Amino acid sequence: MKTIKGPAIFLAQFMGDNAPFDGLTNVCRWAADLGYKAIQIPTWDERLIDLNLASESKTYCDELKGRIESFGLEISELSTHLQGQLVAVHPAYDLMFDAFAPYNVKGNPKARTAWAIDTVIKAGKASRNLGLNAHATFSGSLMWHTFHPWPQRPKGLVEAGFTELAKRWRPILDSFEEQGVDLCYEVHPGEDIFDGITYEMFLDKVDQHPRACLLYDPSHFVLQQLDYIEYIDLYHERIKMFHVKDAEFNPSGRQGTFGGYQDWANRAGRYRSPGDGQIDFSTIFSKLSQYGFDGWAVLEWECCIKSPEQGAEEGADFIQHHIINVTEKAFDDFAGGESDPELINKILGL
């Protein structure tokens, strides 16, 4: 067994125009003062990282690490959630997802896809230059609009969809293999990889690629009513990253998993700050520790009620409280004896 590292914090939902969220120096000081030991960096925010330069320059990466380490922090991982989303976009979502793309590829789906693939590959190289071994992303989606099949899906649609998704991701995965970095998909509603079965279908299409790994976030499984504890038993060998985000599901006679087009605060399934929802984090931390997960426990704030500042302040202590310093001895060692082959044979009647 190994001890989980933490607490760390994902900065994507915190960055803004006002201090302390307006740049790397201020946000590092803020995170360190709250007790965090690492930051997870969204690579689309140029105030935090120059991804192009980080993919090319070890010197730049060493300087970036040095700035962050001056606050007593590490980089836990990099993230390309927004860029990974653009690897696969169904035309129905073109206009909305164009908001994630740079100006020169907006309105041009083919160019946007090529840019996204190239950008995620750069993130793998940057991760290597920073000495990181895992990276977070989304799979994107070509089929999400068919997940509840009415009218029924034509035969072969899912097969063709995963074939195309794998075709787009295979060169990225191969590049991550060259860099020695695990590419961790956040299994998430709205992505083609949104549960265990879809992940398995994707793995089949990429020939069980060793770098096609998982970011474990139980909040998305509460909203899907999926067993988030058994999920660890099933996929622990592929889980290389961990987001600590809570959720709750409160169905009524008026709405359930689909939410009735309500905003987040009024949905039956909604995200909460750690400790405010229904997730059994004690069991999660125990399971991950049992299976030897030694990555970072990273707070992701997406609460529809509590402020991000309060969520972050409480989150550091919440994670620290749940981290298990794993034992190096059995509780009944005091009653044991020396290993004696002759005695063992006698006990067995041999």
Task: Give the residues across from 300 on adjacent strands.
Answer: none
Burial label, 38 (beta-carbon count in 10 A; 0-12, 13-18, 19+)? buried
208 sits in the region (left: phi over 0; alpha: psi -120 to 50; else beta) called: left
CB 42 within 8 A of CB 15: yes
CB 319 within 8 A of CB 282: no
Of 18, 1, 20, 17, the residue nearest 9 (C-alpha): 20
The Cα angle at residue 287 between residues 201 and 303, in degrees rounded to 5: 80
Q: Which tokens in the block code for residue 52?
A: 């192009």
The residues, ordered by sequence, that sit 6+ positions from 1 with a Cβ below 8 Å of its Cβ are: 289, 290, 292, 326, 327
Of 212, 238, 128, the residue nearest 178 (C-alpha): 128
Q: Which tokens in the block code for residue 12?
A: 């994507």
Taken in order 311, 317, 323, 324, the sign of the CA dihedral is negative
CB 9 within 8 A of CB 298: yes
Q: What pLDDT score was predicted for residue 339?
A: 76
CB 119 within 8 A of CB 168: no
CATH number at residue 110: 3.20.20.150
Indicate the number of domains in the chain. 1
Angstrom distance (rounded) from CA 11 to CA 28: 10
Q: What pLDDT score was predicted for residue 331?
A: 66
DSSP for 181-220, written as a single string: -EEEEE--TTSS--SHHHHHHHHHHTTT-TTEEEEE-THH
Q: What pLDDT score was predicted for residue 346?
A: 87
Angstrom distance (rounded) from CA 21 to CA 339: 59
Q: Which tokens in the block code for residue 248?
A: 């709750």
Q: What pLDDT score was predicted for residue 97?
A: 97
Q: Which tokens in the block code for residue 286?
A: 């125990």
Neighbours of 28 (CB within 10 A): 22
CB 275 within 8 A of CB 306: no
State the 10-residue block means of pLDDT for the chain, 350 residues long: 95 97 98 98 98 98 98 98 98 96 97 98 98 98 95 97 98 98 97 98 98 98 97 98 98 95 96 98 98 97 97 98 88 70 89
Q: Which domain holds residue 295?
A: 5-347
Q: Which tokens in the block code for residue 36?
A: 């965090």
Angstrom distance (rounded) from CA 120 to CA 136: 10
CB 100 within 8 A of CB 82: yes
135 sits in the region (left: phi over 0; alpha: psi -120 to 50; else beta) called: beta
Task: Give the residues across from 298 on adjacent strands.
Answer: 8, 243
The Cα angle at residue 348 between residues 342 and 350, in degrees rounded to 5: 65
